[in-house]
Amino acid sequence: MYASELRTDLADTLAEIRGAGLYKTERQLTTPQSAHVATPAGPVLNFCANNYLGLADHPAVVEAAGAALDEWGFGMASVRFICGTQTLHTELERRLSEFLGTEDTILFSSCFDANGGVFEVLFGEQDAIVSDELNHASLIDGIRLSRAQRYRYRNRDLADLEAQLRAAEGARRTVVVTDGVFSMDGCFAPLDGICDLAEKYGALVLVDDSHAVGFVGDDGRGTPERFGVADRVDLLTGTLGKALGGASGGYVSGPAEVVALLRQRARPYLFSNSVAPAVVAGSLAALDLVRSSADARERLVANARLFRALMADAGFDLLPGEHPIVPVMFPGEDGARTAARIADRMLAEGVYVIAFSYPVVPRGRARIRVQLSAAHSEDDVRTCVRAFEVARDAVGAPPAPSSSRA
């Protein structure tokens, strides 16, 4: 009866989103996820997936998942605690714990769900959660679902973190929560400094390592390994949906009692279906590959270095860093439009990148976020840089002033 009013209202909202230039369209792929993909308009080089190690279509991962369909069936038709746990699921949890160097691990359908479930269970009214302002949306939502007191510190700002830890003194439990890598900027959380401060104030540390697990650190164990603090981070969350095969699934890893209690009380675990067996088997194969992926990790680092060097030479304004996320900045009033036009033009050149603008990033800080993969060749990287130059010329944007270049 009210549906027509609802439709009119929503059409207005949609028009507002379009009018502000913020409407997100989804490009369709006609191939598996890979460095080289195709869209209905033709083949493109892909520089916007989280496919850091190139495992999303790796033959060993695909084969393991395919074999699991025959051996373990398609779906579990149950949540874990009723009849949704196969030995395959516990095997993946055991293997993740071994890889991360933790006592135990609990699987969720996604990292979004892991973050949605962990805080409410562990932190109540007498507790304090101290959170980086740029943390992932799923951490923000998960923290909101808890009744804990909330403190927010400026992105990666240790002085402000200390001020917030002081403000939180007196809480029963305090936890510092951070992304290991901030995905819009491609920069690392200063985990050594964070662990020092947490120790000083008797706080726990929780790191969401979604953009690092599998490829950051000498053995790919993530940001705690890179910063030499693996034994000082109390709780890890992460995704299987990025470097570790890229399908789906997430986890919380840490002390045995934490995992045991989450199995009793975490709502997304109790009330949502088990990860599909084929995905679990594919993720196990991805973990195997990560162990023997030292050369893929080196290739990834080399690709990111090459891209940064060539882009700086070509006069683009990059956020400095070492992560394979490389933000190419288009600052100022007109930046959002310029970034969007350049990304569109690059697609016509056969290179797929995505422009980000407000509200995903702050106003005036529009960017094209390029993501390198070990699956890219040196030629692919050079093709991407050339497409940036061609597109910049085509839309008539000037090179960045040299003072702003990384």
Ligand X SMILES: *Cc1c(COP(=O)(O)O)cnc(C)c1O
User: Which positions are catalytic?
Assistant: 183, 211, 242
Give least dist CB 214 to ligand X, A: 13
For ligand X, the binding residues in 174-203 under the rule CB under 6 A are 179, 183
Backbone angles phi, psi at 314, to 5 degrees: -80, 0
Give least dist CB 379 to ligand X, A: 29
**Residue 284 burial (CB < 10 Å; 0-12/13-18/19+)?**
buried
Distance, in Å, from the CA atom of 212 to the CA atom of 217, rounded to the nearest integer, reads 8
Instruction: Please pick, from the candidates 34, 138, 223, 303, the single residue that binds ligand X as defined by CB under 6 A.
Output: 138
Instruction: Please pick, from the candidates 112, 153, 201, 330, the single residue that binds ligand X as defined by CB under 6 A.
Output: 112
Query: Residue 305: which residues within 8 A CB-CB, separation 6 or more?
Result: none
Backbone angles phi, psi at 179, to 5 degrees: -65, 145
**Contact present, 137 and 115 (Cβ < 8 Å):** no
For ligand X, the binding residues in 219-248 under the rule CB under 6 A are 239, 241
Size of site (CB under 6 A) for ligand X: 13
Give the interface segment with ligand X, choosing from 27-35, 60-68, 108-116, 357-365 (CB under 6 A): 108-116
Distance, in Å, from the CA atom of 162 to the CA atom of 379, rounded to the nearest integer, reads 46
What letters, b where the CB count within 10 A reaches 16 and e where it falls short, cover 139-175?
bbebbebbebbbbbbebbeeebbbebbeebeebeebb
What letters, b where the CB count within 10 A reaches 16 and e where it falls short, cover 370-398?
bbbbbbbeeebbebbbebbbbbbeeeebe
Binding mask 141-180 toward ligand X (x if CB under 6 A, else -) reads --------------------------------------x-
275 binds ligand X (CB under 6 A): no
**Contact present, 84 and 76 (Cβ < 8 Å):** yes
Instruction: Please pick, from the candidates 34, 102, 110, 131, the single residue that binds ligand X as defined by CB under 6 A.
Output: 110
Give least dist CB 65 to ligand X, A: 17
Give the closest residue to 42 by CA, choosing from 58, 56, 28: 28
250 binds ligand X (CB under 6 A): yes
Give the interface segment with ligand X, choosing from 56-64, 109-117, 149-157, 288-296 (CB under 6 A): 109-117
Give least dist CB 111 to ligand X, A: 3
Instruction: Please pick, from the candidates 44, 88, 111, 355, the single residue that binds ligand X as defined by CB under 6 A.
Output: 111
Distance, in Å, from the CA atom of 378 to the CA atom of 349, rounded to the nearest integer, reads 18
367 binds ligand X (CB under 6 A): no
**Tokens at residue 335, please?**
């930046």
Give the closest residue to 336 by CA, choosing from 316, 314, 361: 361
For ligand X, the binding residues in 31-90 under the rule CB under 6 A are none
**Contact present, 223 and 209 (Cβ < 8 Å):** yes
Residue 184 or 406: the one with the smaller Cβ distance to ligand X is 184
211 binds ligand X (CB under 6 A): yes
Distance, in Å, from the CA atom of 341 to the CA atom of 392, rounded to the nearest integer, reads 9
Residue 113 or 234: the one with the smaller Cβ distance to ligand X is 113
Give least dist CB 392 to ligand X, A: 29
388 binds ligand X (CB under 6 A): no
Residue 109 or 338: the one with the smaller Cβ distance to ligand X is 109
Residue 279 or 342: the one with the smaller Cβ distance to ligand X is 279
Cis bond upstream, residue 331 (ω within 30): no
Instruction: Please pick, from the candidates 58, 89, 136, 392, the single residue that binds ligand X as defined by CB under 6 A.
Output: 136
Give least dist CB 179 to ligand X, A: 5
Q: By CB under 6 A, name the binding residues for ligand X.
A: 110-112, 136, 138, 179, 183, 208, 210-211, 239, 241, 250
